[in-house]
Amino acid sequence: MAADQNRILIIEDEGNIARVLQLELEHEGYAAEIAGDGIDGLARATDEEWDLILLDIMLPGLNGIEVLRRIRRQDEEIPVLLLTARDSIPDKVAGLDQGANDYITKPFEMEEVLARIRANLRYRNASREKNTSRPLRVGDLYLDPKTRQVRRGERKIRLTPREFDLLTYLMRHAGQVLEREQIIQDVWGFDYAGDTNVVDVYIRYLRQKIDKGAPAPLIHTVRGVGYTLREHDG
Ligand code: CA
């Protein structure tokens, strides 16, 4: 699977419709998978990483509106396109209230489905881009992902690319306790089978540059777990 391939989850109990959607989406270069009822659909929607969800409203197990409501409790960003057999105003209103991004009324033209998927993915990618390029601040620590400038107070800090990536990650998750394995996966970008000492090594480098000589440290060790970056310890 290509790394930049968009993943789409189809939650639809009508097998032939789900299958047609899957084939057409795969033909367009998406990775598409099917969940056949509301319960399985909700579990897969929240347990796995998706770029977009096609969600039927009339589903056995748990109806689409309820599935959507529960997805939105966990993820406000993911585009969800509702499929509805009826051109039903109450369904549309309920769907919008629960944070649906778009509607497709059955029977649909595949070209229209594909166009709406493209539009919603474009919008999502644009807003992701905006979020990832915004400057980060924790206490007097400042990091600008665009210019790659880092400052602690007035002091400019020079980081290697890996140190920069690690600090960006810690700042994006400020206040959270991050396990070494998780840091390895997200910063080094692979499932690291070996030991995770490399994280400790890079944390030491960062402490030298960020915290040394500062009135209060920002990087904290959480014994037996990992690390956290926050303004006040405890
Ligand atoms: Ca259905």
pLDDT number for residue 87: 65
What pLDDT, in 10s, does the model give residues 20-74? 999 999 999 999 999 999 999 999 999 898 999 999 999 999 999 999 999 998 8
CATH code for position 98? 3.40.50.2300
Q: Are residues 139 and 113 in the same domain?
A: no
Pull the structure tokens for residue 147: 């210019």
State which residues form the domain around 22. 3-129
Q: Are residues 88 and 106 in the same domain?
A: yes
CATH code for position 173? 1.10.10.10
pLDDT tier, 76 (very low <50, low <70, confident <90, very high otherwise): confident
Q: Are residues 67 and 43 in the same domain?
A: yes
Q: Are residues 124 and 147 in the same domain?
A: no
In the reported structure, the alpha carbon of residue 84 is separated from the centroid of ligand 1 by a whole-number distance in angstroms of: 8
Q: How many domains is the chain built from? A: 2
Q: Are residues 123 and 176 in the same domain?
A: no
In the reported structure, the alpha carbon of residue 86 is separated from the centroid of ligand 1 by a whole-number distance in angstroms of: 10
Helix, strand, or coil here: 47? helix
In the reported structure, the alpha carbon of residue 91 is separated from the centroid of ligand 1 by a whole-number distance in angstroms of: 13
Provide the whole-model pTM. 0.63
Exposed / middle / buried, residue 35 (Cβ in 10 Å: 0-12, 13-18, 19+):
buried
In the reported structure, the alpha carbon of residue 57 is separated from the centroid of ligand 1 by a whole-number distance in angstroms of: 6
